[in-house]
Amino acid sequence: MIDALLQGLFLILQWKALAFMLLGIGLGFWVGLLPGLGGVTALALMLPFIYTMQPHEAFAFLLGMHAVVATTGDLTSVLFGVPGEATTAAVILDGHPMAKKGEAGRALGAALSSSLVGAIVGAFALALAIPVVRPLVLSFGSPELFMLAIVGLAFIASLSGQGARGMLRGFLVGGLGLLLSTVGQDPQAGVARFTLDTLYLWQGLDLVAVLVGLFAIPEIIDLVVRGTSIAGNTPSDHLRKGAFEGIRDTFRNFWLTIRCSLIGTFIGITPGLGGAVAQWMAYGHATQSARNAEERLGFGKGDVRGVIGPCAASNSKEGGALIPTIAFGVPGSTAMAVLLGGFFLLGLVPGPDMLTTHLPVTFSMVWTIVLANIITVAACLLFLNHLAALTNVRGHVLVPIILVMVFIGAYTANNDYGDLLVMLIFGAFGYFTVVAGWPRAPFVLGLVLGKIAENYLYISVARYEMAWLSRPIVLALLAVAIVVILYPLVQARRAQSRKQANA
């Protein structure tokens, strides 16, 4: 194993493989900055170029590109409140409020450093899991995957704000997200549901268009109304000094970073859940790291832990998603399904051969994820001052540029004008939720997890009838979901008791 690990490193450090990796990193950097284009699209576009490459060169190119997309997508989310990827929307909740408070440098420093830690944890998990992954992946069937989705939905309690009223609002908004996740064809019966007799809605609401509208449009309106820069009147020196403070924040909250990285890795290993689920579950866990109910109120208003958690999970999931892809040929995410096409183009078959004959190539993927993230973070830190200074540009200069990014992002997801209409509708919805003080995060959780939960519930009942409820892992995950829901209520009760004692 150690021999193969070192061989994998030497394969990546060959000049040709290194050159392809740097080319991939350069492409991934710009793809991540453009909302809506996404790493999956970029991977699919680049597949025809790998025919003549050696396997380690091809994976250095493809994984180098894909590994940095989430990192640079976080930059757009923090600076402009526009999700660079559908999977980077959770970072907006605290990252963009930090930018508006003049802490863009700190938020970017925390995002980059936690992304690097997450990537290393994910790659380390991939390296360790190679010999032991089989029983872990095979122990999860449709009932366990359904319960994982329920655990994710339980985080609505943590994301809903303070008190019973906040939780009621959160569950109502989450319920609306669940309802809208059913728009489109019923996956079992093929019946059209809530499609308003339009062909566009048969595939359901596009997540990119919804998220861009929900988060970007309210920020643009806010910027226009304020008439100032994103950071207001914060001196530019203050913006730049915060980067190393953000890096220190990551290591002050080191165990939170590791825990969220492990959440991302686990979600990555589990086929069918995806990066958006990893980020939102990590964000929900980060809110639970608040020591009391008052501290949790800071989340959504610029708490650095709300940046650290999702960024760590977003990058660690890549290493996790590679595990079932390499070991069984079962893609851990949509991007891994595209990467699977790359395996077959190169004449490689995922499975036992990748863990024996081609083990150095497998380990070269581990090194690619680590090195690509180190290079990206180092490059971003060099230009961090200039990136943070963008939040001092006047609103009337910035708004047209952000609007162009937003419309391109919404349209390029499917090249359909219907996406632009969806973006505008959810932009109006997002603006009214902000004005009324209703949370947006539970809505996204409901929308993302609704379809997943419905599919796995149907399969579980069809295959096991009601016997799936007695499976040990299902019961354990149900207990976790109950704890996740009750934890905020217990914190609120303790805070109330302390107030009464002090009075």
The mean-pLDDT minimum among 178-182, 309-313, 381-385 falls in: 381-385
Length of the chain: 503
In tens, the pLDDT along 256-289 reads 889 888 888 888 777 666 666 788 788 888 887 7
In tens, the pLDDT along 100-134 reads 887 878 888 888 888 888 888 887 777 777 666 65
> Residue 237 — very low, low, confident or very high, per pLDDT cuts 50/70/90?
low
Q: How far apart are CA 275 and CA 152, in angstroms?
A: 13
| Position with higher pLDDT, 387 vs 105 | 105
Burial class (CB in 10 A: 0-12, 13-18, 19+), 502: exposed
Asked whether the beta carbons of 314 and 118 are under 8 A apart, the reply is: yes
| Position with higher pLDDT, 354 vs 232 | 354
Count of other CB atoms within 10 angstroms of residue 357: 11
Count of other CB atoms within 10 angstroms of residue 121: 24
Burial class (CB in 10 A: 0-12, 13-18, 19+), 353: middle
| Position with higher pLDDT, 393 vs 426 | 426
Buried b (16+ CB within 10 A) or exposed e, 245-284: bbbebbeebeebbebbbbbbbbbbbbbbbbbbbbbbbbbb
Nearest to residue 50, comparing CAs of 33, 34, 63? 63
| 126: its two tokens | 């991939």
pLDDT higher than 70, residue 230: no
Q: How far apart are CA 261 and CA 46, in angstroms?
A: 28
pLDDT confidence of residue 184? 85
| 141: its two tokens | 């069937």
Rg value, the chain, Cα: 22
pLDDT confidence of residue 481? 84
C-alpha distances in angstroms, 490 versus 164, 288, 295? 12, 11, 14
| 129: its two tokens | 């899991």
Buried b (16+ CB within 10 A) or exposed e, 71-106: bbbbbbbbbbbbbbbbbbbbbbbbbbbbbbbbbbbb
pLDDT higher than 80, residue 350: no
Residue type, 30: W
State whether residue 185 is helix, strand or coil: strand
N- to C-terminal Cα separation, the chain: 63
pLDDT confidence of residue 333? 67
Asked whether the beta carbons of 64 and 24 are under 8 A apart, the reply is: yes
pLDDT confidence of residue 329? 65
Half-sphere exposure of 209 (CA within 13 A, CB side): 21
Count of other CB atoms within 10 angstroms of residue 455: 17
Q: Name every residue whose Cβ is closer than 8 Å to that of residue 207 and which is 6 or more positions away in sequence.
A: 86, 276, 447, 448
Asked whether the beta carbons of 423 and 212 are under 8 A apart, the reply is: yes
Q: How far apart are CA 503 and CA 499, in angstroms?
A: 6
Whether the predicted model's global pTM rises above the 0.85 cut: no
Which residues face 185 on adjacent strands? Answer: 192
C-alpha distances in angstroms, 242 versus 108, 245, 275? 9, 5, 28
The arithmetic mean of pLDDT across residues 327-335, rounded, is 67
Structural element, H or E, at residue 192: strand 192-193
Backbone angles phi, psi at 193, to 5 degrees: -125, 130
Q: Could you please report the per-residue DSSP string of 401-441?
A: HHHHHHHHHHHHTTT-HHHHHHHHHHHHHHHHHHHHT--SH
State whether residue 160 is helix, strand or coil: coil
